[in-house]
C-alpha cells in the first residue's frame, strides 16, 4: 500500500541529504517527494510517498524520527486527507487535433498554458487517479515531455499537523 | 556577567572543560593548527596516537569504561577520513563520542582544495548526528548539542567539522549544557500500561529468560538486572555487547546466545515461553534463522530506541524507555512466578553441554581456550579485557569470566579488526587502577600494531595477548567448514616475530607454546609493568564451537570439539 508521510524538518544544510540517504540506505523506496516552506520560518515540510507494508512504514517513520533534524512525522494515509499533485504535459498538437486536446483538458479541469505550432503544454492538478487518466488519454496524441511535482497533502477538517518550534535553537 | 570575545579554538577547549573532559585522543595537521596551538598550554591531556583510527578506538575504549563521551581531534581530509572506521564502529555499538575535525577554510569549501574531504557527507550514515560549522556565532551551541546528543538517549558518535578560519574568529561565548532540540526528545520512562502487562507476563511465565545486551551497560542497569533476575529466579543470557551486565560466574548466567553462543543459551531461547529482552537489537548473529527464533515465546522488548522495537522480531510487549528505569519499575511491581522446573531443565543442559575446551587432536599443542581461561584465572577479578575480532574474540566471550559492566570491550556490531589494542589503551587511561588485557589475533593486531609506540611512550601498563594461530582464523574456519578447506589467502605467511617487534618498540615480549609456558608467561606479565606482549603459539586449526551455521535455527548446533 502507498503511504503519504508529512515530515516536518528543520531547515538545516544537509537535512534533505540525511532523509534521502536514509531511504536508500535502508532500502525504502521513495515514490515521490515534495518539499516546501511552512508557516513557521526555519521549518520545511516534506511530503513523501512510500510504498510498503505496515511493518515497513512503521520502520520508515521510526527511522525518520531518529534524525535529529526531523521534528514530526505523520502518516496522512491513515486519516482522511486531501492529496494533490501538479503535472505539466507537453503533448503533440497539430492544428487538426488541438480542439480534441482542449476538450480532454477541460473535462479534467486542466489548463492549456502554452501553444506552439506543433505542441501544447497542459497543466493539471489532482490526485493520482486523475493524473493517470489524463496521461492515458493524451498519450494518444504523443506526449513529448512530462513533469510532476510529487504529491502534497493536508488533513481534512480543522485538524493540523503542528509545526511549533519550541525551544531556542542556534540559527 | 560581562561578556568577552572568545576565539573559536578557545571556545572548544572551554566547552571541553565545562563537559568535564580530561583527555583528548588525536593527531594534528594543517586545518587544526589553531586548535592544537590552543591545546599547547591547556591542562587537558592529549594522547598522540600513530593513526587516527586508533584515536577513535582509544576514545571508544575510554568512553565505554567511563560512560562519558570520548573526544577526538583530527585534521581535514585524510585525518578525517581515517576516522571513519572508528566512527562506524562506535555508531554500531552505541558509544558516546564527540569528534572534532578541522576543515579547509570556509571560502575553499567545495573547491576540492588541498586536504578537503566532505566528512559530514561521508559520516551521515555512521554518526548519530553531525555538524559543519558555518558561523562562529553557532559554535558554542553546536558544541553543547554535540555533547548532549552523544551522551543521552541511545548513545552515539557526533562529529563537528570546523573550517580552519573559524578557529581564529571571535564571538561571545556562552555555554549552556541544557539543550532543547525540537527534533530530539528521548523517552526515558516506560509506558505504565505496558509495564503492568510485562509484570503480568512475568508472573504467568513458566519458562522465562532475560536476554540482555549493550543497552544494559550503557544505561547502568546491572544492579537492577541482578536484583530482578534473582528476585524472580529468571536465568540471564547476555549478548556479546551485554557481557558483564550480569556476573559471569553466577548460577543464573547461561552465557551468550547465537552463532557461537552456549548450547544452554540457545536451547533456553528456543524453549522459553517468555523472553525479557533488554537493550538488545536481535542481531542476525543472535537470532539465526528468524522464522524459527523463539517460536514459543512471548517477547517483552525494553529499549531506548523505538526503531529497534519490532525491527527484526515481532514484539508482544514493547516498552520504549531507559533500560535501567524500566527494570527498576518492573522490580517495584514484580510478582515472581514459579520457575523451579525450568531452572532444573536449564541446569541439566548446562551440565550436559559445557563450553568445549578444544579438540585435543594435535596432541600437546597449546589450546587457545586454555590460554583465555588462564588469562581469566590469573588476572584477578578487577580486569578489563579488550578484544579484537575473530576466533580469539569468540573464545574470549566464551571463556573469560566477565564480572562487571564496562570491563569487556569488543567490537560487536561492526566487527572491526584493529579495535582491541587502541581500545585497551583508552581503557587503561580511563581506569589506571585496573588491569587491562588486550586479547588479539595475529591478523587483527597488525591492523593497529603501530600503536605500540603510543603505548610504550606513554608507559601504558597493559598486557597484549596474541592468540597466534598463523591464520586469519575465523575466516579460515569458514573456509574449513563451508569451502572444502580451500584456505584462500587466510594463512598469515610472512608474519613478523612478535616478540622482536615488541622489543623493537621498546616493550617487553614473551612467547609461550605449551600450557606450562603459557601459565608462566601470564604470571610474569601480570607482575611486569607493561606494555608486555605475549605471543601464544596455539593450535593453528582449532575451530570455535559451539557453532550455528548462518541463517539456521539456533537450536541446530554443531557442538564440535571434545566434550572434556
Ligand atoms: C577490518 C576487517 N577486515 C576484515 C575482517 C574479516 N575478518 C573477520 S575475522 C577475521 C580473521 C581475524 O584474524 P585474527 O585477528 O588472526 O584472529 P583469529 O580469528 O585468528 O583469532 C577477518 C579477516 C574484519 N572483521 N575486519
Q: How confident is the model at residue A170 (pLDDT cuts 50, 70, 90)?
A: very low
Task: Spell out the alpha helix ranges (H) of chain A.
Answer: 15-25, 54-66, 98-107, 128-139
Residue A1 confidence (pLDDT): 85
pLDDT at A171 over 60: no
**pLDDT tens string B97-139:** 999 999 999 999 999 999 999 999 999 999 999 999 999 999 9
Residues in Cβ contact with A33 at an 8 Å cutoff, skipping those fewer than 6 apart: A20, A46, A47, A48, A49, A150
Q: Who's near B203: CB < 8 A, 6+ residues apart?
A: B335, B336, B337
* B258, B285 Cβ separation under 8 angstroms: yes
Domain ranges of chain B: 5-172, 192-352, 361-544
Alpha helices in B27-98 (DSSP H): 33-39, 52-66, 78-81, 84-92
- A166 at the B interface (CB within 8 A)? yes
Distance B474 CA to ligand 1 centre (A): 6
Bigger pLDDT: B441 or B360? B441
Give yes or no for residue A169 having a pLDDT over 50. no
Do the domains at B5-172 and B361-544 have one common CATH topology?
yes
Q: Which of B241, B243, B250, B237 is nearest to B210 (CA)?
A: B237
What average pLDDT does range B506-523 have in this prediction?
Answer: 97
Q: How confident is the model at residue B178 (pLDDT cuts 50, 70, 90)?
A: confident
Cross-chain Cβ contact A167/B181 below 8 Å: yes
pLDDT in tens, B279-297: 999 999 999 999 999 999 9
The domains found in chain A, sorted by start residue, are 2-78 (3.30.70.260), 82-152 (3.30.70.1150)
Active site residue ranges of B: 52, 114-115, 164, 474
Q: What is the CATH number of domain B5-172?
A: 3.40.50.970
φ and ψ at residue B523, rounded to 5 degrees: -60, -45
By C-alpha distance, the chain A residue nearest B153 is: A66
Q: Which residues face B32 on adjacent strands?
A: none
Q: How far apart are CA B395 and CA B412, in angstroms?
A: 14
Task: Give the pLDDT band of residue A167 (cuts 50, 70, 90).
Answer: very low
Global pTM value = 0.95
B192-352, what's its fold? Rossmann fold (3.40.50)
CA of B422, closest CA in chain A: separation in Å?
A: 30
Instruction: Give me the pLDDT at residue B563, please.
Output: 44
pLDDT tens track for B253-282? 999 999 999 999 999 999 999 999 999 999
Predicted confidence (pLDDT) per residue in B398-413, tens digit: 999 999 999 999 999 9
Asked if the Cβ–Cβ distance from A71 to B310 is below 8 Å, we say: no
How far apart, in whole angstroms, are the C-alpha atoms of residue B539 and residue B562?
A: 15
**What is the per-residue pLDDT across A81-130, written as a single tens digit (0 to 9) for each?**
999 999 999 999 988 899 999 999 999 999 999 999 999 999 999 998 99
A159: confidence class by pLDDT, cuts 50, 70, 90: confident
Shortest CB distance from A62 goes to which of B125, B137, B307? B307
Q: How many CB atoms lie within 10 A of CB B376?
A: 22
Share of chain B above pLDDT 90, in %: 95
Record: contact A66-B305, CB cut-off 8 A: yes
Question: What pLDDT digit, counting tens, does each position of A63-74 carry?
Answer: 999 999 999 999
Task: For residue A27, list chain B residues with Cβ-Cβ distance below 8 A.
Answer: none
pLDDT of residue B536: 98
Question: Where residue B559 falls among pLDDT bands split at 50, 70, 90?
Answer: confident
Q: How far is CA B500 from CA B301, B495, B506, B515, B534, in A?
A: 50, 12, 10, 22, 11
Q: B361-544 maps to which CATH number?
A: 3.40.50.970
Taking only the tens place, the pLDDT of each residue in B300-348 is: 999 999 999 999 999 999 999 999 999 999 999 999 999 999 999 999 9
Provide the residue count of chain A. Answer: 171
Amino acid at each position: 500500500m502507498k503511504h503519504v508521510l508529512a515530515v516536518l524538518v528543520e531547515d538545516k544544510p544537509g537535512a534533505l541529504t540525511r532523509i534521502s540517504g536514509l531511504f536508500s540506505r535502508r532500502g525504502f523506496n521513495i515514490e515521490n517527494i515534495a518539499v516546501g516552506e511552512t508557516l513557521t520560518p526555519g521549518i520545511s515540510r516534506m511530503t513523501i510517498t512510500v510504498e510498503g507494508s505496515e511493518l515497513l512504514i512503521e520502520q520508515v517513520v521510526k527511522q525518520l524520527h531518529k534524525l535529529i533534524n526531523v521534528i514530526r512525522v505523520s502518516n496522512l494515509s491513515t486519516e482522511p486527507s486531501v492529496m494533490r499533485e501538479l503535472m505539466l504535459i507537453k503533448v503533440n498538437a497539430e492544428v487538426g487535433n488541438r480542439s480534441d486536446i482542449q476538450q480532454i483538458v477541460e473535462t479534467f479541469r486542466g489548463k492549456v498554458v502554452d501553444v506552439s505550432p506543433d505542441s501544447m503544454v497542459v497543466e493539471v492538478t489532482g490526485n493520482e487517479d486523475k493524473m493517470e487518466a489524463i496521461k492515458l488519454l493524451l498519450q494518444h496524441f504523443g506526449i513529448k515531455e512530462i513533469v510532476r511535482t510529487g504529491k502534497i497533502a493536508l488533513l481534512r477538517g480543522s485538524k493540523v499537523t503542528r509545526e511549533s518550534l519550541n525551544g531556542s535553537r542556534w540559527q | 556577567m560581562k561578556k568577552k570575545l572568545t576565539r573559536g579554538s578557545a571556545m572548544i577547549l572551554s566547552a571541553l572543560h565545562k563537559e568535564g573532559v580530561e583527555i583528548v585522543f588525536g593527531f594534528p595537521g594543517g586545518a587544526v593548527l589553531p586548535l592544537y596551538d590552543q591545546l599547547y598550554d591547556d591542562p587537558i591531556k592529549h594522547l598522540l596516537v600513530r593513526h587516527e583510527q586508533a584515536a577513535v578506538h582509544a576514545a571508544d575504549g575510554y568512553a565505554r569504561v567511563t560512560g562519558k563521551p570520548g573526544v577526538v581531534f583530527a585534521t581535514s581530509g585524510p585525518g578525517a577520513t581515517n576516522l571513519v572506521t572508528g566512527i562506524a564502529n562506535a555508531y554500531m555499538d552505541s558509544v558516546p563520542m564527540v569528534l572534532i575535525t578541522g576543515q579547509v577554510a570556509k571560502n575553499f569549501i567545495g573547491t576540492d582544495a588541498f586536504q578537503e574531504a566532505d566528512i559530514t557527507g561521508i559520516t551521515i550514515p555512521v554518526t548519530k548526528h553531525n555538524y559543519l560549522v558555518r558561523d562562529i556565532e553557532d559554535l558554542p551551541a553546536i558544541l553543547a548539542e554535540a555533547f548532549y546528543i552523544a551522551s543521552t538517549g541511545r548513545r552515539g558518535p557526533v562529529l563537528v567539522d570546523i573550517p580552519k578560519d573559524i578557529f581564529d574568529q571571535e564571538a561571545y561565548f556562552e555555554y549552556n549544557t541544557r539543550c532543547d532540540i525540537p527534533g530530539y526528545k528521548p523517552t526515558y520512562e516506560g509506558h505504565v500500561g505496558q509495564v503492568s502487562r510485562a509484570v503480568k507476563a512475568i508472573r504467568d511465565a513458566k519458562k522465562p529468560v532475560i536476554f540482555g545486551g549493550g543497552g544494559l551497560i550503557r544505561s547502568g542497569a546491572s544492579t537492577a538486572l541482578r536484583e530482578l533476575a534473582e528476585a524472580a529466579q529468571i536465568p540471564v543470557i547476555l549478548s556479546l555487547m551485554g557481557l558483564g551486565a550480569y556476573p559471569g560466574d553466577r548460577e543464573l548466567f547461561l552465557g551468550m546466545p547465537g552463532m557461537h553462543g552456549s548450547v544452554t543459551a540457545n536451547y533456553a531461547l528456543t524453549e522459553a515461553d517468555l523472553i525479557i529482552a533488554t537493550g538488545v537489537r536481535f542481531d542476525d548473529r543472535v537470532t539465526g534463522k528468524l522464522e524459527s527464533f523463539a517460536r514459543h515465546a512471548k517477547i517483552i522488548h525494553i529499549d531506548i530506541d523505538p526503531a529497534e522495537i519490532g525491527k527484526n522480531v515481532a514484539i508482544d510487549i514493547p516498552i520504549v524507555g531507559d533500560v535501567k528505569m524500566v527494570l527498576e519499575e518492573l522490580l517495584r511491581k514484580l510478582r515472581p512466578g514459579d520457575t523451579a522446573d525450568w531452572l532444573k531443565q536449564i541446569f541439566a543442559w548446562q551440565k550436559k553441554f559445557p563450553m568445549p575446551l578444544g579438540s585435543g587432536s594435535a596432541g600437546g599443542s597449546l589450546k587457545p581456550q586454555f590460554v583465555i581461561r588462564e588469562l581469566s584465572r590469573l588476572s584477578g577479578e578487577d580486569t578489563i579485557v579488550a578484544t579484537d575480532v575473530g576466533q580469539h574474540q569468540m573464545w574470549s566471550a566464551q571463556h573469560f569470566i566477565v564480572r562487571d559492566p564496562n570491563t569487556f570491550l569488543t567490537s560487536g556490531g561492526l566487527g572491526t579488526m584493529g579495535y582491541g589494542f587502541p581500545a585497551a589503551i583508552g581503557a587503561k587511561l580511563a581506569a589506571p587502577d585496573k588491569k587491562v588485557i588486550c586479547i588479539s589475533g595475529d591478523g587483527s593486531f597488525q591492523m593497529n600494531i603501530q600503536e605500540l609506540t603510543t603505548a610504550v611512550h606513554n608507559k601504558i601498563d597493559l598486557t597484549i595477548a596474541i592468540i597466534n594461530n598463523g591464520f586469519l582464523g575465523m575466516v579460515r574456519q569458514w573456509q574449513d567448514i563451508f569451502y572444502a578447506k580451500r584456505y584462500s589467502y587466510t594463512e598469515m605467511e610472512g608474519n613478523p616475530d612478535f616478540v622482536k617487534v615488541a622489543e623493537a618498540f621498546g616493550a617487553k615480549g614473551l612467547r609461550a607454546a605449551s600450557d606450562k609456558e603459557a601459565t608462566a608467561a601470564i604470571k610474569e606479565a601480570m607482575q611486569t609493568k607493561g606494555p608486555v606482549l605475549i605471543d601464544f603459539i596455539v593450535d593453528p586449526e582449532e575451530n570455535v564451537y559451539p557453532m550455528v551455521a548462518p541463517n539456521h535455527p539456533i537450536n541446530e548446533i554443531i557442538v564440535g570439539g571434545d566434550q572434556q
